[in-house]
Amino acid sequence: MVMPLYIEKKPEVLITEEGIRTDGRKPRELRPIRMTVGVLDKADGSAFIEWGGNRILAAVFGPREVHPKHMILPDKALVRARYNMAPFSTPERKRPGPDRRSVELSKVIREALKPAIFAENYPGSVIDIFVEVLRSDAGTRVAGVNAASMALANAGISMRGLVAACAVGRVENFVICDLNHDEDMWGNADMPMAMLMESEEVTLLQIDGPMTESQFKEALELGRDSIRFLYEMQKEALKRPYQVIERSVKGDL
């Protein structure tokens, strides 16, 4: 029997009547974000994202030879993604190896990125995407999608465009963007979202928690606005590999 040296505490108020959140942000305000592209030597492409307390590394290998061979697709590239949490990424140590959550997230991230990749340009090969969560602090899947999208570009994979991502959600009657740990844990609804920015089509969308018709529409729109902001940062980071690109929204998106 192993006991963690950690106790989860629920804040008394998640959001004030004036819309002030537990970390002092307003509903449409993002946490600080830093992006760095090209941080690894051996990967074909890589990116590092620091977003609030998240630290996430993404790398891409490919197009390369497929193993095992029976997975080869003759007319296009096989796209694989692996989302993995480091044992030291959580307050309580996480056992290494995939669990049900990480298996699902690996699929969701793959499906978020696949529409952006010109897979038909690389028949018979594989493009491997690895997302390693080194430190988790709510929103790891969307942070991972942003980093992985930059790593794909950094690897020179031909793409329809970048995929950018952000979580939105609901705390009481407020639709908010970029949920923090408390909001993720105790809020009313969580909605991670990603878009292929060429056409602003949604490539990742999940919801956990109820939203009314109008809240849902508001959330989709706030998601799109947040994602546009992320997209601008991605482009800037890709222009200056090895440089840290840093930003956050103060006040309002």
Partner 1 sequence: MFGPELITHNLLRDYIRELASQDQRIDGRSLHEFRPIEIKEGTFTKAEGEAWLKLGNTQVLVGVKADVGEPFSDTPNKGVLVSNAELLPLASPAFEPGPPNENSIEVARVVDRAIRSADAIDMSSLVITEGKLVYMIFLDMYVLDYDGNLEDALTMASLIALARAEISEVEVNDEGEMIIKESKWKLRLKDIPVNFTFVKIEDKLLLDPVLEEEQVSDAAITLAIDKEGRVCSIQKKHGMFTMEEIIKAANIARSKWPQITDKIMRVI
Which of positions 184-213 make contact with a second copy (CB under 8 A)?
Answer: none
Half-sphere exposure of 251 (CA within 13 A, CB side): 0
Amino acid letter at 197?
M
Task: Return the number of the residue (42 or 70) whose C-beta is nearest a second copy.
Answer: 70
CA distances from 78 to 29, 54, 75, 157 (A): 37, 29, 9, 13
Which of positions 132-191 make contact with partner 1 (CB under 8 A)?
Answer: 132, 134-136, 189, 191
Q: Using CB under 8 A, which of 146, 154, 203, 234 touches partner 1?
A: 203
32 binds, among partner 1, a second copy, none (CB under 5 to 8 A by kind): none
Q: How many Å apart are CA 77 and CA 54, to the nearest integer?
A: 31
- Minimum CB–partner distance for residue 18 and partner 1 (Å): 25
- Minimum CB–partner distance for residue 67 and a second copy (Å): 7
- Minimum CB–partner distance for residue 69 and a second copy (Å): 8
Q: How many Å apart are CA 167 and CA 99, to the nearest integer?
A: 22
* By the rule CB under 8 A, 97 interacts with partner 1: yes
Q: Using CB under 8 A, which of 90, 125, 158, 248 touches partner 1?
A: 90
**Cβ contacts of 165 within 8 Å, gap of 6 or more:** 112, 141, 142, 143, 145, 146, 149, 192, 193, 194, 195, 204, 227, 230
- Minimum CB–partner distance for residue 56 and partner 1 (Å): 10
* By the rule CB under 8 A, 95 interacts with a second copy: no
Of the candidates 74, 133, 60, the residue with the CA atom closest to the CA atom of residue 98 = 133
**Cβ contacts of 208 within 8 Å, gap of 6 or more:** 189, 190, 191
Q: Using CB under 8 A, which of 9, 10, 42, 67 touches a second copy?
A: 67
Task: Return residues touching a second copy (CB under 8 A).
Answer: 67-68, 70
